Amino acid sequence: MGAAALLVVLLTACQAHATTSPESPAATASASAPPIASTSATPAGPLVVVSNPVDQVHYSISLIDVDGRTVARASAAYGDQKPVPFPGSAAGGSPSGMANPVVQPIALYRLLPDAGACCDAFLPTISVSDTRVYFPDGPRTIRYLGRDGSTGVATTLPEVGALARAVFSVSPDDRRIAIGVFDWSSPVMITVVTIQDLQGGDHSVEVRRSAFPLEAWPVGWHAGNLVLARMPALGGAPNPNAATAYSVLNPVTGEDLGFLGGMTCPVVGPLSRAGTACVAGRCHCIMAVDWTGTQTPTYSYADPSEMNWAALSPDGHAVIFNEIYGPRTGGGIWRDGSVTFMPNYSGSPNQWLDESHTIVACAAGDAGGECFGIQDLRTTTTVEVTLPGSIVGVVPGGL
């Protein structure tokens, strides 16, 4: 999958730019390397979460504030990232250009939000709460990095064996963790989702057991309920979770409370506090989907073949869009029926940091994945951050 720049949202033809270069991680960081803590008070604003490969076995997690400064960083060893053999995938035995699939550290993908390579689905490996980032350190250990620079071991994943893989999602209040285990040791792969306390979670409660084509795995939390990704999108999904749809699960009763997206409107872009976006073929448009599953039309593509990354704002009233094929090309923001569009721009994933800031590409483009911008929509100024790696989330991460 070729690398591409993050989608630039340009609200005016003239922008002011500032450039900052956060301290780069050491070339030989170890799994137990201490974090880089903020030299001032704990930042109160939103933070960008960046994952950066350090070497073949280690990666770093950095937290960047709206001024482009690294306020915290920690490094770890890559976790279990073996491909899950979904039916139809390369790992599942289907013919593809990936005859001998290998484990690829997800942080090495500049286009992490596409979440897939060839015909496999590369699942998210990092979870973000309202104050912390949770990330693997080896095959089972889950560590955290706080916005205040604190770090430590949060929990351990279950021992799953060679023919299984575990993924996880921590609640926004740092109290619970949902663990999804894909087990393909038998002819029919089973996915089991359990919930336990993050601390002292020796007792877990099973909340969902599923098999093809209804596989479900945890990717977030909303209003105390668990958000599950559904229907794996193979070969590159335009969202961070390799999902075609989401469901909202009551963790106490096991009841499905709502469904977002699906085959007629595959989900695109990241989840937000308002829900997510999906692209409906019936109108060639981006739908804003709330947590009840209600779809509201927003931006309509000029070309009916478009189905690109789009990001729903936290309040649900705006969508960042991208047109690749024309007759218009470029990106912009749809907000309450009004469109601000910059022609002659081509880009790919970007997202909202909060209602006032977006994560965008650098002005000169960034084919090498070494730079991104944080744009203040109130002033149209952009702080450019020189830091290699993939943007894997924002703090706060609660939905």
Detail the DSSP E strand segments found in 223-329. Answer: 225-232, 243-249, 256-261, 267-272, 275-280, 285-289, 295-300, 311-312, 318-323
pTM of the model: 0.84
Check residue 308 and give its pLDDT: 86
pLDDT digits (tens, 9 = 90+) for 219-263: 999 999 999 999 988 766 789 999 999 999 999 998 999 999 999
Does residue 6 form part of some domain? no
The segments of the chain whose pLDDT lies below 70 read: 1-41, 94-119, 201, 235-236, 342-348, 363-369
Note down the domain range covering 377: 17-28+46-395
Does residue 245 form part of some domain? yes
> Considering its fold, how many domains does the chain have in total?
1
Does residue 92 form part of some domain? yes
Does residue 233 form part of some domain? yes
Check residue 94 and give its pLDDT: 60
pLDDT digits (tens, 9 = 90+) for 179-218: 999 999 999 999 999 999 998 867 889 999 999 888 999 9
Indicate if the alpha-carbon torsion angle 1, 182, 186, 162 is positive or negative.
positive
Does residue 85 form part of some domain? yes
Check residue 347 and give its pLDDT: 60
- CATH number of the CATH domain containing 116: 2.130.10
Check residue 74 and give its pLDDT: 98
Does residue 128 form part of some domain? yes
Check residue 329 and give its pLDDT: 76
Does residue 222 form part of some domain? yes
Q: Calculate the dihedral angle through the C-alpha atoms of 16, 311, 118, 112, rounding to the nearest 10 degrees.
A: 50
Does residue 12 form part of some domain? no
Listed as own residue / partner, the contacts of 153-156 with beta carbons closer than 8 Å and 24 or more positions apart are 154/198, 154/199, 155/198, 155/199, 155/201
